[in-house]
């Protein structure tokens, strides 16, 4: 074999290995991101299960706050039916906002705050909220890593060849979601 043929074969082998490595990296990133999304879903389902118990406990003490309970229930239903990262993020942020309002109302009911059942539910919900936030951060980190790879050269060429796309971050979508809720009586 001539030296030129050996060099061409070596370059082609190196190119093949490079493309295969980038492709495999995209597969890993995509699967890690899907796993992170599944982790968010697990925590959100836990949250959805806790909310009716919390609302029913608070209802017993604060019967005249019916509109707030309806908003929490409606926000929960919308969050459960949302599809895709953008819609899911918007619905979850709305639910978080209504839950903050619910806890603000609880401040006016000292006997409710002293209830063991309420304390337990509030602790569980707080723990779940922390886990949801951690899962969101993990998801967003994976999405960021995937998106950087999809946009960076030369991996962007491989991404286009094999149809790897950018994914949406799970983020706050409206300015009012960043503010503390206002509770009025």
Which pLDDT does position 63 carry in this prediction? Answer: 65
Asked if residue 11 has pLDDT above 90, the reply is yes
Which of 57-71, 101-115, 141-155, 158-172 ranks highest by mean pLDDT?
A: 141-155
Q: Give the tens place of pLDDT for each residue, 133-164.
A: 899 899 999 999 999 999 999 999 999 999 99
Confidence of residue 62 (pLDDT cuts 50, 70, 90): low
Q: Record the pTM.
A: 0.66
Which pLDDT does position 160 carry in this prediction? Answer: 93
Q: Tokens in use for 64?
A: 């005249």
Sign of the CA dihedral 169, 46, 64, 101?
negative
DSSP string, 51-99: HHHHHHHHHHH-TT-HHHHHHHHHHHHHHHH--HHHHHHHHHHHHHHHH
- Residue 102: closest CA among 54, 64, 60: 54
Which pLDDT does position 178 carry in this prediction? Answer: 46
% of the chain surpassing 70 pLDDT = 86
Nearest 5°: the CA angle 167, 97, 47 is 70
Sign of the CA dihedral 141, 46, 103, 84?
positive
Domain with residues 3-178, CATH architecture? Up-down Bundle (1.20)
Asked if residue 176 has pLDDT above 80, the reply is no
Question: Domain map of the chain by residue range?
Answer: 3-178
Q: What is the mean pLDDT of the chain?
A: 82
Q: Tokens in use for 94?
A: 């709305």
């Amino acid at each position: 074999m001539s030296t030129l043929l050996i060099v061409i074969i070596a370059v082609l082998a190196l190119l093949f290995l490079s493309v295969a490595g980038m492709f495999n990296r995209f597969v890993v990133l995509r699967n890690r991101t899907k796993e992170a999304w599944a982790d968010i879903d697990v925590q959100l389902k836990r949250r959805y299960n806790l909310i009716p118990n919390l609302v029913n406990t608070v209802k017993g003490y604060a019967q005249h706050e019916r509109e707030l309970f309806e908003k929490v229930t409606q926000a929960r239903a919308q969050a459960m039916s949302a599809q895709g990262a953008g819609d899911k993020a918007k619905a979850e942020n709305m639910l978080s906002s209504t839950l903050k309002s619910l806890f603000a109302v609880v401040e006016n009911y000292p006997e409710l705050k002293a209830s063991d059942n309420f304390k337990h539910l509030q602790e569980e919900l707080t723990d779940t909220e922390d886990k949801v936030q951690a899962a969101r951060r993990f998801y967003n980190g994976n999405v960021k890593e995937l998106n950087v790879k999809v946009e960076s050269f030369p991996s962007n060429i491989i991404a286009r060849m094999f149809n790897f796309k950018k994914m949406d971050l799970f983020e706050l979508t409206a300015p009012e979601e960043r503010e503390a809720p206002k509770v009025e009586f």
